[in-house]
Amino acid sequence: MSDSEPDLELLELLRQHIAGKPQVAAEPDTGVLESAEYVYNNSIDVALDMRSCKNAARAIYSQMQTKSYSPATWAAHELHPHPSKGDKPEDVVAFIFTMDLLNFCFWSERGEEERFSIEYKGRRWTGYWSLVAALQRALEEDPHFWQNEEELTLSTLKHVFRSATSEEMPLLAARLSCLREAGQILYEKFSCHPLHLVTSSNNSAARLVNTLASNFSCFNDTHSPPSFPRKKPIRLLKRAQILVADLWACFEGQGPYGKFYDIDKITMFADYRIPQMLNQLGCIQYSPPLETAVQLKRDIPSGSNWEIQLRACSIWCVELIRREILRENPGARVNAILIDFFLYDTIKEMENEGRERAPHHRTRSIWY
């Protein structure tokens, strides 16, 4: 827990003690949804269109059913590791931890042929898949490459992420810092392996998100932009949340590393793809100056007023879509994770078919 943020669970226990109530530990909460609603209620550059959200909810749920979207979809991606592919569960957990530690900022200003890409299994992989491909390739070449962070130098990392083009992976030095910090914290607090980090959550998704955010600065995706003056930071926690979601999906909500009794507390992951898809669906709309900045691919600084509105309003938008799907289909097995995965995979299909109507916003950061 960083100094500025109170320990919410401790405060709740204290409150109950003073009120003379039995001391029941408060259910952990990540604070992301509260942050998203606060930003949405105070935004002037991003708005939600309710009619489009209702239409999107119907279309998304219908297509998710047609494609039988479920946690099992995660393992169906050929590059994702999975016990059914012969990967040991503990290696899968280490893979997902390392992957989501580095799961940020793949976009390039260059064309498809010149952009950073990874050659693996006879194909060129870009974006998120370039990360997964590079890690799989590195494991084939040296199964222990990431275990000793002393050996992990910038040149090692350049080799792991060697590109099939002249463009290097973005933010490589920042990725090295994330790996080094993670290695150090795992060594100091979690007996050197992510397994102990995961099991320390006692099957609470929210607690695991908060543990990641409070112990690893590179997972602490929280912001206090001057345009949103309030005591509590705005908590978006994208990579901490997608890490928990990837574990849950990979292990299909089962076992010591996949079972989370409060998985529905995980929100959509505020990256640069989902806002693009929600805008394409008409669900989120931008003020003219923001619309121009996105269309012209101008840099939108990390932590800026516009960027926080884009990310937080997208989280709130997916929450409203989730509520609409459940209102129309009581008991539907849908949560923000599956809606998010579906939206990401859909915008990637549209990109591959040249059907993107507008660019995604351009922010360089380690948060997403």
- Positions annotated as catalytic residues are 271
Q: Is 22 exposed, middle or buried (0-12, 13-18, 19+ CB in 10 A)?
A: exposed
Coil, strand or helix at 172: helix
Q: Does 40 bind ligand 56B (CB under 6 A)?
A: no
CB of 32 to ligand 56B, least distance (A): 13
Q: Does 97 bind ligand 56B (CB under 6 A)?
A: no
For 40, 114, 237, 306, 361, the CA distances from 299, given in Å and listed in that order, are 22, 20, 21, 11, 8
Give 260 or 272: the residue with its C-beta nearer to ligand 56B: 272
Radius of gyration of the chain (CA): 20
Give 190 or 321: the residue with its C-beta nearer to ligand 56B: 321
Coil, strand or helix at 118: strand
Give 186 or 339: the residue with its C-beta nearer to ligand 56B: 339
- Residue bearing tokens 């076992």: 255
**Cα 128 to Cα 133: distance, rounded to the nearest angstrom:** 9
CB of 277 to ligand 56B, least distance (A): 9
Q: Does 241 bind ligand 56B (CB under 6 A)?
A: no
The count of other CB atoms within 10 Å of the CB of residue 107 is: 18
Please tell me the total number of residues recorded for the chain in this structure. 368
Interaction mask 262-291, ligand 56B, x per CB under 6 A: -------x-xxxx-----------------
Among 12, 87, 345, 356, binds ligand 56B (CB under 6 A): 345
**Cα 169 to Cα 115: distance, rounded to the nearest angstrom:** 9
Interaction mask 123-162, ligand 56B, x per CB under 6 A: ----xx----------------------------------
CB of 274 to ligand 56B, least distance (A): 5
The count of other CB atoms within 10 Å of the CB of residue 40 is: 21
**Cα 277 to Cα 347: distance, rounded to the nearest angstrom:** 6
Among 106, 125, 190, 228, binds ligand 56B (CB under 6 A): 106
CB of 25 to ligand 56B, least distance (A): 30
CB of 66 to ligand 56B, least distance (A): 16
Binding site for ligand 56B (CB under 6 A): 73-74, 77, 103-104, 106-107, 127-128, 269, 271-274, 340-341, 344-345, 368
